Amino acid sequence: MDEDDLADAFRTGSADGLRAVYERYSGAVFAIALRVLGDRELAADAVQVTFLNAWRACGSLEPGRPMAPWLFTIARRAAIDLYRRRAHGPEPVEPADNATIALPPSMECIWEAWQIRIALDMLPAEEREVVRAQHFAGLTHAQIARQLAMPIGTVKSRSHRAHRRLASMLGHLAEVAA
């Protein structure tokens, strides 16, 4: 389903539309919530709040407007709200340690993390698997070949294609930063 079809389905407020948007973007929402909150349980709360708020506001998603930045705004706000509530909230889970108070990540950091996760989720599964093994697990091509029981040439070609796709999708981040 392309972005326009996804947005059209979501705009109806149907469960199917919500499910399709969740499948496309829940990983990115969870990733940035985790980056802001540093806690899986709270990040899961932020995901719930994000999709409920987005569903309630689906009528405000204008036709032709890209969904990803719109959802990012809702997700970031949900995570930051939870971050602030945790800082001032009523639930004392652990004793406060004033020496370790930290600010949430900057807007730019969260946006980069969002874009990277969306790019990863758009890779074909077999390429994503190789990229994950290389970057997340820190494996070499030879180690990946052994782990996935495939010829090293296949690993290299998948890695090459995947990184070309990532560079194409993420190149603007390097340009902006430069």
Partner 1 sequence: MTSQPWLAEYLEQEAREPGPSAPDAASADAARRLRDLLADPDGWAEPPPGLLDQILVGTGRAAGRDDRRRQTQMRRTVRAGAVALLAAAAVVIGIVVTRGPAATDVVLAGTRLAPAASATARLHATPSGLAVELDVSGLPPSPPGYYYQAWMKGPRGLVTIGTFHMRGGPGTVELWSAVSLADYPAITVTREPEDGNPASSGQVVLTSRHP
Contact 41, 34 (CB under 8 A): no
**Contact between 60 and partner 1 per CB under 8 A:** no
Q: How far apart are CA 25 and CA 37, in angstroms?
A: 18
Question: In terms of residues, how long is the chain?
Answer: 178
**Contact between 6 and partner 1 per CB under 8 A:** no
Min CB(99)–partner 1 separation in Å: 20
**Contact between 34 and partner 1 per CB under 8 A:** yes
Question: Which are the contacts of 159, defined by CB distance < 8 A and separation ≥ 6?
Answer: 127, 130, 131, 134, 141, 144
| 9-to-13, 22, 24, 70 alpha-carbon distances in Å | 8, 12, 13, 15
At 99, list the tokens. 């020496």
Contacts 24+ apart (CB under 8 A), 134-141: 134/159
**Contact between 174 and partner 1 per CB under 8 A:** yes
Tell me which amino acid residue 160 is: H
**Contact between 146 and partner 1 per CB under 8 A:** no
Min CB(18)–partner 1 separation in Å: 7
Provide the 10 A C-beta neighbour count for residue 72: 21
Give me the 69-108 binding string for partner 1, x by CB under 8 A, dash otherwise: ---------x--xx--x---xxxxxx--------------
Min CB(46)–partner 1 separation in Å: 8
* Nearer Cβ to partner 1 (135/146): 135
Q: Which residues are at the interface with partner 1 (CB under 8 A)?
A: 15, 18-19, 22, 26-27, 29-31, 34-35, 40-41, 43-45, 47-49, 51-52, 55-56, 78, 81-82, 85, 89-94, 112-113, 116-117, 120, 131-132, 134-136, 138, 140-141, 159-160, 163-164, 166-178
